[in-house]
Structure 1
Amino acid sequence: MVAGAPETGPPSAAAALTPDSFLPASERKADIIRPTSFPKARARFARETIRRRRKREEYFPAELFSDACWDILLDLYAAHYEGEAVSISSLCIAASVPQTTALRWIALLTNEGWLVRWADPNDRRRSYIKLSDRARGRLDAYFDDLPY
């Protein structure tokens, strides 16, 4: 079961008066999928975190919140639990910064042991990247520790 999944049926009168009832439906705690030990829930939670970060750009200039490193980690975290391989070029796009900036972050994170890089055996021009076990474990712990 996914923690935080909405219940079916009409809410009780007491539930209707909670602080969550004043929030838009998309931001109510009951509507937020909290990560659990299930891989699909973890991937959905990471993708929702990315979506919320991008939503800010509708209200504020994107450069106010530029955080390429976090975007890289979130994208690779979701991809891990979705069972998807991520190419370097795809990760540069996900970072939402100029390619040279993304490549610098990828190199730094790889050198520090947060990411693992390998060449495509079928196309030596392409490389793939994934989280190291240490990074994935830290992200698991981070998301498990969030207060909602």
Structure 2
Amino acid sequence: MTETLSCPELAEGIYTYQPGAGWVRGLREGGKATILVFVNVFCQHACNDIVQRIFSKLAGLVNSGAVGLVLVVCTRFRRVCSDSDARRLFMIYNIIASPSVIAYASNGILLGSAKGSLRVERELDSLLDRVAAHAATGVL
């Protein structure tokens, strides 16, 4: 049976997936590869689709703590976002399309990004392969 993971009920903020605890509000930092998923509040279906695609490919790495999974949610990108931390991340990464995915290696080097539904559809699997390879070997 394939493990599944869904997004929490979307509200503005930053959520980190914690194995055994589920989605926890706030950013938990650590020295591991990290995938940031940016969505708007009204994109529950897209959020669930992306998180499930990530989890179906990287469940073992996410559950072991080797890969961090972070969800960043605003109502309408950075323009309508009452959570200052989420708004700041939307601004820093220049997120103007939802959903968007950005992945970092454990040393903070960018592994890649896919911004907007078409790019996510085309590029997510390749991006997840890079994350998995890095998490397994520590090599970029």
Q: Could you state the TM-score of these two structures normalised by the residue count of structure 1?
A: 0.29
Indicate the structure (1 or 2) with the bigger Cα radius of gyration. Answer: 1
Structure with more of its chain in strand, by fraction: 2
Q: Could you state the TM-score of these two structures normalised by the residue count of structure 2?
A: 0.30
